[in-house]
Amino acid sequence: MSYTRMRRSYGAQKSNRSNYRRKSSKPKSSASINPRRFIKVAKTEEVSEYQPTHMFNDFQISDLLKTNLSRKGYKVPSPIQDQAIPLALESKDIIGIASTGTGKTAAFIVPIIQKLSTQQSSAALIIAPTRELAQQIETEFKEMAKGFGIRWATLIGGSSMGYQLKDLRNNPRVIFGTPGRIQDHLKRGSLSLSKFNMVVLDEVDRMLDMGFINDVTEILKFTSGTRQSLFFSATLGAKVQDLAMRFSNSPVTISIKASSTSENVHQDIIGFGNSNEKIEKLHNLLINQEVAKAIVFDETQRNVDRLNQELIDRGFSVEAIHGGKTQSKRQRALKKFKDSEVNILVATDVAARGLDVKDITHVVNYSIPREYDDYIHRVGRAGRAGKMGYAYTFVSSKDI
């Protein structure tokens, strides 16, 4: 089926919406999200440009840091950077409501580097929900901290304990890590956080969803009592607020409108009757010229592996990531996708969380996400940096 014909048939499904109102008698499951919420016409008009109140040169940061920023090609601060950097430099606690793609990483890395370079006794702990995100933050830090001589350690699961122990013996002043591995080091006595007076929790909502609440609370108790806390989250639910309030001091909340999350993503559903029809429809979607780079989400590790194989057998250029793969395999797959050696990545939610891959054109929800928040996060992968993206969600015909 051609792309245009396919689009028309989705349109026909859209016009038959009365069924959506039918109340499902099923227990709460992924299918309990009303399919109507997966349909949205993207805004085609230009999103009005944010007028920053600062340039990077205006910030009270060192010349070396300014040079590193400009070497990275950062000229104008993004909204979250514009608002958070001056406050963070003043040692304020911050709750930043901003998702991946808004430039939130530099919003906390810049003040951290500035403070570490001027306050020898300072140290920073940055906790991320996934290994990939922790590594992404480390990469951004390495580029921005060039020439400062700041030592760091990255403490994530699935990678060598030996290297981490070696890095820790060098008294790093920045720790990047995931909750589980940081806890492991605390328990072994290989990590002491008492001097860590800057703490960043990135993607707090995801961390809580992933069940890290106890780990994170425990870890925070080990950090310095006079601590600056920076919390970043795509959404501000009650649990996130609760955690932020418990572990911060009169925080300033900065909320960035997530224009990249879904406004410029054209969202639609694809109905299917059975699994054969489902895979055929996916095939038809992926062979389309317009699909330059696509993430296909599926529910379980097994399903991801199965779908990956099926797409390979059909001649697609695919990689897969999920939590059951070793860290090096995940990294290799991701690199191939980022470098466009393959143009399709099949993934579970957890593995794909927070990934900064710029040119994704299509997000395909081969299985329906459990929560609408997951949907928003998935869809946010497409249409980044003002580009138009597409998100298609497979919905069983009986649920439409």
Min dist. Cβ of residue 379 to ligand AMP (A): 16
* Segment (H or E) for 246: helix 238-246
* Distance of alpha carbon 80 from alpha carbon 102, whole angstroms: 7
Q: Which is nearer to ligand AMP, 65 or 106 (CB)?
A: 106
Min dist. Cβ of residue 100 to ligand AMP (A): 5
- Is 78 a binding residue for ligand AMP by CB under 6 A? The answer is yes
- Is 261 a binding residue for ligand AMP by CB under 6 A? The answer is no
Query: Could you tell me the CA-to-CA distances from 183 to 191, 205, 277, 348 in Å, in that order?
Result: 9, 19, 46, 25
Q: Which is nearer to ligand AMP, 39 or 134 (CB)?
A: 134
Q: Which is nearer to ligand AMP, 299 or 356 (CB)?
A: 356
Binding range to ligand AMP, per CB under 6 A, among 74-82, 193-201, 271-279, 310-318: 74-82
Distance of alpha carbon 299 from its chain centroid, rounded?
A: 17
Cβ(154)–Cβ(166) below 8 Å: no
Binding range to ligand AMP, per CB under 6 A, among 72-80, 123-131, 293-301, 344-352: 72-80
- Is 293 a binding residue for ligand AMP by CB under 6 A? The answer is no
* Distance of alpha carbon 95 from alpha carbon 53, whole angstroms: 20
Min dist. Cβ of residue 78 to ligand AMP (A): 5
Pick out residues in 340-379 that bind ligand AMP (CB under 6 A): 356
Min dist. Cβ of residue 137 to ligand AMP (A): 8
Q: Which is nearer to ligand AMP, 127 or 269 (CB)?
A: 127
Instruction: Copy the structure tokens of residue 99.
Output: 């998702």
Cβ(100)–Cβ(356) below 8 Å: yes
Q: Which is nearer to ligand AMP, 81 or 83 (CB)?
A: 81
CA dihedral for 332, 338, 343, 348, sign (positive or negative): positive
Pick out residues in 83-112 that bind ligand AMP (CB under 6 A): 100-106
Q: Which is nearer to ligand AMP, 105 or 367 (CB)?
A: 105
* Distance of alpha carbon 33 from alpha carbon 240, whole angstroms: 22
Q: Which is nearer to ligand AMP, 104 or 322 (CB)?
A: 104
Burial 118-133 (b: 16+ CB within 10 A, else e): eeeebbbbbbbbbbbb
Size of the site for ligand AMP (CB under 6 A): 14
Q: Which is nearer to ligand AMP, 100 or 197 (CB)?
A: 100
Cα–Cα–Cα angle for 299, 304, 307, rounded to 5 degrees? 120
Strand partners, 200: 126, 230
Min dist. Cβ of residue 102 to ligand AMP (A): 5
CA dihedral for 50, 55, 60, 61, sign (positive or negative): positive
Interface residues with ligand AMP (CB under 6 A) are 73-74, 76-78, 81, 100-106, 356
